[in-house]
C-alpha cells in the first residue's frame, strides 16, 4: 500500500466501528429521542481533522443523550439538499452544516422549514431558527506561530491552508503574528491549496516549501493536510497541525496540534436542544471558552520550556494582555 493511501486508511479504520452506530442509544423512559442531521464539509469522514471532529461530537451526543443521527456527505447541490430535506420531512429536530460550503444549504432550508432548528459551524447564517458558531482561530494560531519560531533551525517556516476563506485567513494571520512576536528574523512561506480534499496537492506544496529551506510547516488544510504529513516524513522535517491529534500518522515529524473543538461545538448545540434552550444567533469560541486548546505535543520535540512559554502567552491572550488582530475582510 502506498503511504498516501495508508494515512487515509488509518483515519477511516478509526471511524469504521463508529459509522455503524447511527441508531439511537437507550434513552430514559418518557424522554423523546433527539434526531440530528449533519452535512459534512469537503474531505468527508476520514480526514483526521475537521469533519472527524464534528462526527465525534455526534457520537458523544448519542452516548450522553441517546440522540440518533444521520450524516450527509457532500455530492451535488441537488442531491445534498434533497437528502437534508428528507430528514426534515421525517421530523428531524436539528440539521447542522459543517463549514462555509454548507451555508447556502442551511440558509435555504431554514427558510423552507421555519419550525425546525438549524446550525452552522465555522461560518454564519442569519435566521431566527439558525445558530452559528465561529472560532477565534487567530488566538490559538498565534501560539502555534510562536512554537514554530522556537522550533525552526533554518529560520524559515511555512503555512499551507486549504482554501482562501475567512477561517483560513484568521489562521494564517494569527500564525504570522505569533512568528513575528517570537522572532522577527524568521521568514514565512505561504501557500493556499485551493482544496481541503486532495492530499496530493498538499504533499506537492509541502515538498516545495521544504526544498526551499522551510523546516516547520503549519498545516491548516483538512484532508489535503494528510499530504503535508507525508511530505514532512519524506523530507525528515516537521509539521504542526490545526486539527486533531495526528502524531500517530508520522511519529517524530508531527509536532502536535492546536485543535479547533468542532466536537465541543456540536455537543453544545445538541445539549441546548435537549435542554429546551436552543439559542439562535452567532457565538464565538476561543481560548477562554476552550473552543481552541493546545496539544498534545510530541515531548521529544517540544521542550518543557517551550510549553511553559506557550502557557504563559495563552494566559495573557485570555486576560486581554495580548490582542491577536483579526485580518480585515476584503
**Nearest-angstrom CA–CA distance, 205 and 53:** 25
- Has residue 26 been placed in a domain? yes
pLDDT in tens, 97-152: 999 999 999 999 999 999 999 999 999 999 999 999 999 999 999 999 999 999 99
Q: 121 by DSSP, 3-state: which?
A: strand
**Nearest-angstrom CA–CA distance, 237 and 254:** 9
**Nearest-angstrom CA–CA distance, 135 and 6:** 31
Instruction: Give the cell for residue 243.
Output: 486539527
Same domain for 170 and 251? yes
Would you say 207 and 231 are in contact if contact means Cβ atoms under 8 Å apart?
A: yes
**Nearest-angstrom CA–CA distance, 1 and 170:** 37
Same domain for 172 and 308? yes
- Has residue 154 been placed in a domain? yes
Average pLDDT over residues 39-48: 88
Give the closest residue to 59 by CA, choosing from 97, 12, 15: 15
Please state, as a whole number, how many other Cβ atoms lie within 10 Å of the Cβ of residue 185: 9
- Has residue 233 been placed in a domain? yes
Give the count of domains, the chain.
2
Give the closest residue to 42 by CA, choosing from 4, 99, 85: 99
Q: 1 by DSSP, 3-state: which?
A: coil
**Nearest-angstrom CA–CA distance, 174 and 268:** 26
**Nearest-angstrom CA–CA distance, 294 and 292:** 7
Domain of 209? 137-259+299-318
State the pLDDT confidence band at 49, using cuts at 50, 70 and 90.
confident
Q: Is the pLDDT of residue 22 over 50?
A: no
Q: What is the DSSP letter of 260?
A: B
State the pLDDT confidence band at 8, using cuts at 50, 70 and 90.
low
> 74 or 18: whose pLDDT is higher?
74
Q: What is the pLDDT of residue 14?
A: 47
Separation in Å, CA 70 to CA 48, 167, 195: 20, 26, 25
State the pLDDT confidence band at 21, using cuts at 50, 70 and 90.
very low
Please state, as a whole number, how many other Cβ atoms lie within 10 Å of the Cβ of residue 77: 11
- Has residue 222 been placed in a domain? yes
Same domain for 98 and 160? no
**Nearest-angstrom CA–CA distance, 171 and 141:** 6
pLDDT in tens, 167-203: 999 999 999 999 999 999 999 999 999 999 999 999 9
Block residue for cell numbers 521542550: 303
Average pLDDT, the chain: 91
Block residue for cell numbers 441508531: 23
Q: In what order do the strands lie in the sheet with 281-285?
A: 68-72, 35-39, 94-98, 117-121, 130-135, 281-285
Same domain for 94 and 197? no
**Nearest-angstrom CA–CA distance, 163 and 192:** 6
Please state, as a whole number, how many other Cβ atoms lie within 10 Å of the Cβ of residue 7: 24
- Has residue 330 been placed in a domain? no
Same domain for 202 and 93? no
Same domain for 48 and 98? yes
Q: What is the pLDDT of residue 47?
A: 83
Domain CATH number, residue 38: 3.40.50.2300
Helix/strand/coil percentages in the chain, nearest 5: 45, 20, 35
Cis status, amide bond into 177, omega within 30 of 0 = no
Q: What is the pLDDT of residue 1?
A: 38
Q: Is the pLDDT of residue 62 over 50?
A: yes
Counting residues of the chain whose pLDDT is more than 90, the rounded percentage is 84
Block residue for cell numbers 498545516: 219
Same domain for 51 and 198? no
Amino acid at each position: 500500500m502506498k503511504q498516501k493511501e495508508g494515512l487515509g486508511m488509518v483515519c477511516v479504520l478509526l471511524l469504521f466501528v463508529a459509522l455503524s452506530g447511527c441508531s439511537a442509544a437507550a434513552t430514559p423512559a418518557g424522554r423523546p429521542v433527539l434526531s440530528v442531521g449533519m452535512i459534512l464539509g469537503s474531505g468527508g469522514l476520514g480526514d483526521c481533522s475537521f469533519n472527524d471532529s464534528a462526527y465525534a461530537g455526534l457520537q458523544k451526543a448519542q452516548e450522553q443523550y441517546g440522540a440518533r443521527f444521520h450524516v450527509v456527505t457532500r455530492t451535488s447541490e441537488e442531491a445534498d439538499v434533497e437528502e437534508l430535506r428528507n430528514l426534515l420531512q421525517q421530523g428531524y429536530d436539528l440539521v447542522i452544516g459543517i463549514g462555509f460550503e454548507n451555508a447556502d444549504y442551511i440558509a435555504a432550508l431554514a427558510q423552507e422549514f421555519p419550525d425546525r432548528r438549524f446550525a452552522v459551524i465555522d461560518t454564519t447564517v442569519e435566521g431566527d431558527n439558525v445558530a452559528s458558531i465561529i472560532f477565534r482561530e487567530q488566538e490559538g494560531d498565534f501560539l502555534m506561530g510562536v512554537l514554530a519560531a522556537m522550533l525552526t533551525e533554518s529560520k524559515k517556516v511555512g503555512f499551507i491552508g486549504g482554501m482562501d476563506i475567512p477561517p483560513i485567513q484568521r489562521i494564517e494571520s494569527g500564525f504570522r503574528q505569533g512568528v513575528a512576536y517570537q522572532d522577527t528574523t524568521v521568514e514565512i512561506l505561504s501557500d493556499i491549496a485551493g482544496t481541503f480534499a486532495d492530499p496530493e496537492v498538499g504533499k506537492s506544496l509541502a515538498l516545495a516549501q521544504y526544498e526551499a529551506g522551510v523546516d516547520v510547516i503549519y498545516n491548516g488544510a483538512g484532508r489535503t493536510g494528510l499530504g503535508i504529513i507525508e511530505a514532512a516524513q519524506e523530507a525528515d522535517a516537521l509539521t504542526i497541525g490545526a486539527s486533531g491529534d495526528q502524531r500517530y500518522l508520522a511519529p517524530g515529524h508531527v509536532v502536535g496540534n492546536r485543535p479547533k473543538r468542532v466536537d465541543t461545538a456540536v455537543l453544545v448545540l445538541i445539549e441546548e436542544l435537549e435542554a429546551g434552550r436552543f439559542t439562535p444567533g452567532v457565538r464565538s469560541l476561543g481560548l477562554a471558552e476552550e473552543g481552541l486548546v493546545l496539544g498534545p505535543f510530541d515531548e521529544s520535540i517540544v521542550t518543557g520550556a517551550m510549553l511553559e512559554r506557550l502557557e504563559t502567552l495563552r494566559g495573557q491572550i485570555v486576560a486581554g494582555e495580548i490582542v491577536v488582530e483579526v485580518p480585515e475582510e476584503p
